Amino acid sequence: MGKLEILNLNQSFLRDDGTRLAVLENISLEVHDEEFVCILGSSGCGKTTLLRLIAGLDTAGSGRVILDGEEIRGTSPKVGMVFQEYSLFPWRSVIDNIAFGLEMRGTAKDERYRIAERYLDLVNLSQFRDSYPSELSGGMRQRVAVARALALDPVLLLMDEPFGALDAQTRNMLQQELLDIWEATKKTIVFITHSVDEAVYLSDRIVVLTPRPGRICRIFPVNLPRPRDRTSPEFAQVRREVLDLINQNCATQ
Amino acid sequence: MSIIKRRGHSIREHWLGVLAILVALIVWECYAAFIIRNSFLLPGPGDVFLAFLSLAEKGILLTDFEVSMTHFAIGLLFALLIGIPVGIAMGWNRRADEFFNPLIEILRPIPPLAWIPFAIIWFGFTPVSAGFVIFMGAVFPILINTYAGFQGVSRIFVEAGRMLGCTRTLDQIRFIAFPAALPSVVSGIRIATGVGWMCLVAAELFGVSNNGLGKDLWFYYDLHQMDCVVVYMLILGLIGLVIDMIFRYYIERHFLKWRTGEVA
């Protein structure tokens, strides 16, 4: 299971001059089990803030986040996260990075390497088992980060622009790999991006946020069959619809 | 990085440096033998070598080495035991930082040798007394580097750890902050060994022991045997160099593989 409910979430930050800056306003959203949802919005619209609240890294000003009927009040092994920046521990080898969560959980050494190797295999990096993150390319590092997040077998995987820093080709390749992993593992995925192309390629539904403060402008279902072809007229059509929506209704308020 | 390039030493790569040492020895010998002509004012390399042989024959050098290493070890051990935990507390916790910082800023600029009177009063003429002076020299580099290392731990590592179940403070320090800060901690220890070693001669000067490299350097000065003084000077320098090389080797082996090309 991995059913996520977000109810009336509000978040604001205290500015230096003492006034409050609203970052998220009245976010309510339901993400079904095994659904792939992209949250799309421009920089500074509160996407990352929203994801951090779902992750339990921050506490909301008001509102609730509920996963499988249980309210999220802090980080939980049921929720995995892949960060935008490189977050692998540089002092640990690839396999020890993936096994980190299992080590924290107290899994015995043999068992945790066995599990970690399975996820290493899932992201096709078996030959880099004992390498250090500094020896890997950006794309490989993010694949390891995905494996590390999956190793604890979370029901919900959160991804904060994980491919944002990669070149276009690597990015397209990793998007496909991610969909394969999603098919294989049946996780619920909430994926943040500012790329319309990425959102249309990946998601079942696209949640478009308005900038400052972030509100849900529209929830846009993507009904294209998978595997999707970026160059097809249908794909272009959906992308145009989303872009028009952003430009006409969700740009500034 | 120059450290990597320097791997694979050979006389061939270093002939200029070897040449410089040879030239210095020759100039030194000639200057001492033909111009100064007074082995009290400037003993030549030959005099020094003979002095070394006679000291080695007496077996005194090994005793000196052991005594000095004891002083050094006492000082360094306590510097580690206090510098690292306080540095961790200050780097991790803002309250601890605010609490300790002014105190440390006041104590830190006091030259270690200025503590000698209190070393004697508190610890008497014991090895601990010499160790205390070395401690005062070594503790601050360790503390400050540990502090800086812990302050510099990227928030993203701690958050990634939290998402993976590393939620207790002690676990976050042990599994995330400490390994992330370790290169800085170790380079602090390396600086501390250098400073502590420099305090050694003065720490032994006031008679905490009958032996010791620093103690006997002064002893032979009192006897006006300057060739022996030079022997001790060179031994002190050589040991300092060896200690530093051990650290450099350790740092290269353990940290370079993950620190090079690290994306901050």
Q: In which element (H, E) is residue A138 found?
A: helix A138-150
The rounded distance, in Å, linking the Cα atoms of B46 and B128 is 37
Q: Are A181 and A123 in contact (CB under 8 A)?
A: yes
Least confident of A134-138, B11-15, B110-114: B11-15
Q: Please give the ipTM for the structure prediction.
A: 0.90
Report pLDDT for B8: 52
The rounded distance, in Å, linking the Cα atoms of B146 and B151 is 9
CB-closest option in B162, B164, B261 to A57: B162
Tell me the average pLDDT across A115-120.
Answer: 93
Measure B259 CA to nearest chain A CA, in Å. 7
Cis ω on the peptide bond leading into residue A213 (within 30° of 0)? yes
Tell me the average pLDDT across B169-191.
Answer: 92
Angle, in degrees to the nearest 10, between helices B45-58 and B226-259: 90
B180 interaction partners in chain A (CB closer than 8 Å) = 89-91
A18 Cβ neighbours under 8 A, 6+ residues apart: none
- The whole-model pTM stands at 0.84
Closest residue of chain B to A57, computed from CA coordinates: B159
Measure B182 CA to nearest chain A CA, in Å. 10
Q: Mind listing the pLDDT tens digit for each residue in A171-209?
A: 999 999 999 999 888 899 999 999 999 999 999 999 998
Contact B160 A81 (CB under 8 A): yes
Report pLDDT for B11: 63
Torsion angle, CA of A203/A204/A209/A214, rounded to 10 degrees? Answer: -100
Tell me the average pLDDT across A113-129.
Answer: 92
The rounded distance, in Å, linking the Cα atoms of A80 and A100 is 13
Report pLDDT for A17: 86
Measure B155 CA to nearest chain A CA, in Å. 9
pLDDT over 60 at B263, yes or no:
no
Q: In which element (H, E) is residue B66 found?
A: helix B60-92
C-alpha A22 chain-centroid distance: 23
A152 interaction partners in chain B (CB closer than 8 Å) = 164-165
Q: Are strands A205-209 and A216-221 parallel, antiparallel or unpaired?
A: antiparallel
Helix (H, G, I), strand (E, B) or coil at A37: strand
**DSSP state at residue A134:** G
Residue B101 CB neighbours (<10 A): 12
Report pLDDT for B260: 59
**Sign of the CA dihedral with B18 first, then B19, B22, and B27 last:** negative
Tell me the average pLDDT across B37-59.
Answer: 89
CB-closest option in B156, B165, B182 to A101: B165
| Ordered DSSP codes for A197-240 | HHHHHH-SEEEEEPSSSB-EEEEEE--PPSSP-TTSHHHHHHHH
Contact B166 A104 (CB under 8 A): yes
Cis ω on the peptide bond leading into residue A227 (within 30° of 0)? yes
Q: How high does pLDDT run on average in chain B?
A: 89
CB-closest option in B156, B165, B263 to A83: B156
Q: Mind listing the pLDDT tens digit for each residue in A25-52?
A: 888 899 999 999 999 988 778 888 999 9
A236 Cβ neighbours under 8 A, 6+ residues apart: none
Q: Mind listing the pLDDT tens digit for each residue in B199-242?
A: 998 889 887 888 899 999 999 999 999 999 999 999 999 999 99
Closest residue of chain B to A158, computed from CA coordinates: B163
Report pLDDT for B3: 43
Tell me the average pLDDT across B169-175.
Answer: 93
Measure B159 CA to nearest chain A CA, in Å. 7
User: Would you state the structure tokens that stand for residue A125, as one six-digit string?
Assistant: 């990096």
CB-closest option in A75, A85, A103 to B156: A85
Measure B93 CA to nearest chain A CA, in Å. 19
Closest residue of chain B to A88, computed from CA coordinates: B157
The rounded distance, in Å, linking the Cα atoms of B114 and A204 is 72
What b/e sequence results for B167-204 when a residue is b if at least 16 CB atoms lie within 10 Å of its CB, and e otherwise?
eeeeebbebbbbbbbbbbbbbbbbbbbbbbbbbbbbbb
Q: At A157, phi and psi to the nearest 5?
A: -115, 125
Size of interface A-B (CB pairs under 8 A): 70
Q: Mind listing the pLDDT tens digit for each residue in A212-234?
A: 788 888 888 988 888 888 889 99
What is the maximum alpha-carbon separation in chain A?
Answer: 56
**Sign of the CA dihedral with A157 first, then A160, A161, and A163 last:** negative
The rounded distance, in Å, linking the Cα atoms of A194 and A199 is 8
For chain B, give the number of residues: 264
Q: In which element (H, E) is residue B112 found?
A: none
Measure A230 CA to nearest chain B CA, in Å. 32
CB-closest option in A100, A105, A134 to B260: A134
For chain B, the helix, strand and coil percentages under 3-state DSSP, each to the nearest 5:
80, 0, 20
pLDDT band for A70, please (50, 70, 90 cuts): confident
Q: Which of B134, B141, B137, B159 is nearest to B86 (CA)?
A: B141
CB-closest option in B157, B159, B165 to A104: B165
Q: Are A205 and A37 in contact (CB under 8 A)?
A: yes
Q: Which of B192, B58, B176 is nearest to B134 (CA)?
A: B192
Closest residue of chain A to B164, computed from CA coordinates: A101
Contact A100 B166 (CB under 8 A): yes
Contact A87 B175 (CB under 8 A): no
**DSSP state at residue B175:** I
A131 interaction partners in chain B (CB closer than 8 Å) = none
CB-closest option in B162, B176, B257 to A75: B162
- Counts for chain A of helices (H) and strands (E), in that order: 8, 10
pLDDT over 70 at B121, yes or no:
yes
- The alpha-carbon radius of gyration of chain B (Å, integer) is 23
pLDDT band for B73, please (50, 70, 90 cuts): very high
Measure B243 CA to nearest chain A CA, in Å. 25
The rounded distance, in Å, linking the Cα atoms of B133 and B122 is 12
The rounded distance, in Å, linking the Cα atoms of A35 and A32 is 5
Contact B156 A74 (CB under 8 A): no
